[in-house]
Amino acid sequence: MSNGSAARQALESCISKGGVVLFPSDGLYGLACDPLNREAVERIHRIKGRDDGKPSAVMYFSPLAMRELIIGVGTRDTGRVIRAYQMLGMLLPGADLKLIEEAMGTMFDYFWGKSMTELQKVDVKEMHQFAHQFSDLVYDMPFQIPQDIIFLGRAVGILSGMCTGLDPGFNLWEYLTPYAGKLLAEETAAGKGAWLDELGGLARKLVALPGRADAMLTKIERGDLVTRDPQLAEQVRRLERAVLKAAGSVVFAALLFGGIQFYLAALTLPAGILWVGAALSLLWLLLSRPR
């Protein structure tokens, strides 16, 4: 085991057991511990001589957004990265999401998988080429970086630099990629569980369907099946009224034109009788009200 690997394991072991670690920072040195361990936080306060009432900086983010970001970066899924940016509030309104996603894909092609030592050797021409290719995005700069994200980047930079100092061959991707795969597997397993629950519910309904269908057929045979739908009943009543109105209109027209034919044939008595019938049917049409 190399000295760098041993140092990293010692650091992880110390923090997981509630210890306090000392690491080089952009100033001089910094102290870190598990923020969820009250005793460890109190130990830092005692070391620094800080009053318990004075707050300390704690990194905290939306777990779902950070999960999306880690999976997106670890698996080179640009769509997830953009979604994580949106959840973290990093994109300004009107940002060109398609262009940003394309830029993320190009950045992955240039830098993904490289160690800190390899990144230090990146050709400046590649950086210029990238800036020229996405000059519109560079000029527009549709980003707003929350303070917590800045702190996170600072912490990752410090820890990566510390690990590289301990082990020049340290590669962050060797740890990030498996962890992203683990998160993705958990997500897939959770999705399968939801699908299995849905399929189970559907299967139970299918199993119960023959019995329910048999019971309904029995009610229909006995004449016991009763449906109650107020809306349907109202529609039926309206249809009945419309049919009666149409029939009344046909009767009125027939009596009226029949009376005219008799009148033209000089048969006044039959014509008068038909016209009386037409008048009565017209009155019924005009005065009848909906029930």
Residue 160 half-sphere exposure toward CB, CA atoms < 13 A: 19
How confident is the model over 46-67, as a mean pLDDT? 71
Predicted local distance difference test score (pLDDT) of residue 208: 65
Predicted local distance difference test score (pLDDT) of residue 27: 62
Residue 225 scores a pLDDT above 70: no
Q: Domain coordinates of the chain in residue numbers? A: 61-146+177-188, 230-287
Q: Which residue has the tokens 């190009």?
A: 106
Please list, residue by residue across 58-74, b when 16 or more beta carbons sit within 10 angstroms of its beta carbon and e when fewer do. Answer: eeebeeebbbbbbbbbb
Most confident of the ranges 4-8, 9-13, 76-80, 206-210: 76-80
SS (H, E, C) the chain: CCHHHHHHHHHHHHHHCCCCEEEECCCCEEEECCCCCHHHHHHHHHHHCCCCCCCCCCCCCCHHHHHHHHHHHHHCCHHHHHHHHHHCCCECCCCCHHHHHHHHHHHHHHHCCCCHHHHCCCCHHHHHHHHHHCHHHHHHCCECCCHHHHHHHHHHHHHHHHHHHHCCCCCCHHHHHHHHHHHHHHHHHHHHHHHHHHHHHHHHHHHHHHHHHHHHHHHHHHCCCCCCCHHHHHHHHHHHHHHHHHHHHHHHHHHHHHHHHHHHCCCHHHHHHHHHHHHHHHHHHHHCCCC
Q: How confident is the model at residue 281 (pLDDT cuts 50, 70, 90)?
A: confident
Residue 234 scores a pLDDT above 80: no
How confident is the model over 113-135, as a mean pLDDT? 80
Q: Which residue has the tokens 């397993």?
A: 189
Predicted local distance difference test score (pLDDT) of residue 190: 65
Predicted local distance difference test score (pLDDT) of residue 7: 74
Mind listing the pLDDT tens digit for each residue in 15-54?
888 888 887 766 667 788 877 687 888 888 888 887 766 6
105 neighbors 78 (Cβ within 8 angstroms): yes
Predicted local distance difference test score (pLDDT) of residue 194: 54
CB-based burial label for 84 (10 Å; 0-12, 13-18, 19+): buried
How confident is the model over 79-83, as a mean pLDDT? 89
141 neighbors 90 (Cβ within 8 angstroms): no
Whole-angstrom distance, CA of residue 114 vs CA of residue 176:
12
271 neighbors 262 (Cβ within 8 angstroms): yes
Predicted local distance difference test score (pLDDT) of residue 172: 81
Is the pTM of the predicted complex or chain greater than 0.85?
A: no
Predicted local distance difference test score (pLDDT) of residue 188: 73
Angle, to 10 degrees, between the axis of helix 230-264 and the axis of helix 268-287?
160
Which among 121, 119, 111, 118 is positioned nearest to 76, based on CA atoms?
A: 111
More confident residue, 135 or 196: 135
More confident residue, 174 or 8: 174
How confident is the model over 84-103, as a mean pLDDT? 84
Mind listing the pLDDT tens digit for each residue in 177-224?
888 888 888 877 766 555 556 556 655 665 666 666 667 667 666 766
* Cα-based angle 223, 227, 231 (whole degrees, multiple of 5): 150
Predicted local distance difference test score (pLDDT) of residue 1: 46
How confident is the model over 267-290, as a mean pLDDT? 75
Q: Count other C-beta atoms under 10 Å from residue 100's C-beta.
A: 20
Mind listing the pLDDT tens digit for each residue in 95-120?
888 888 888 888 888 888 887 778 77
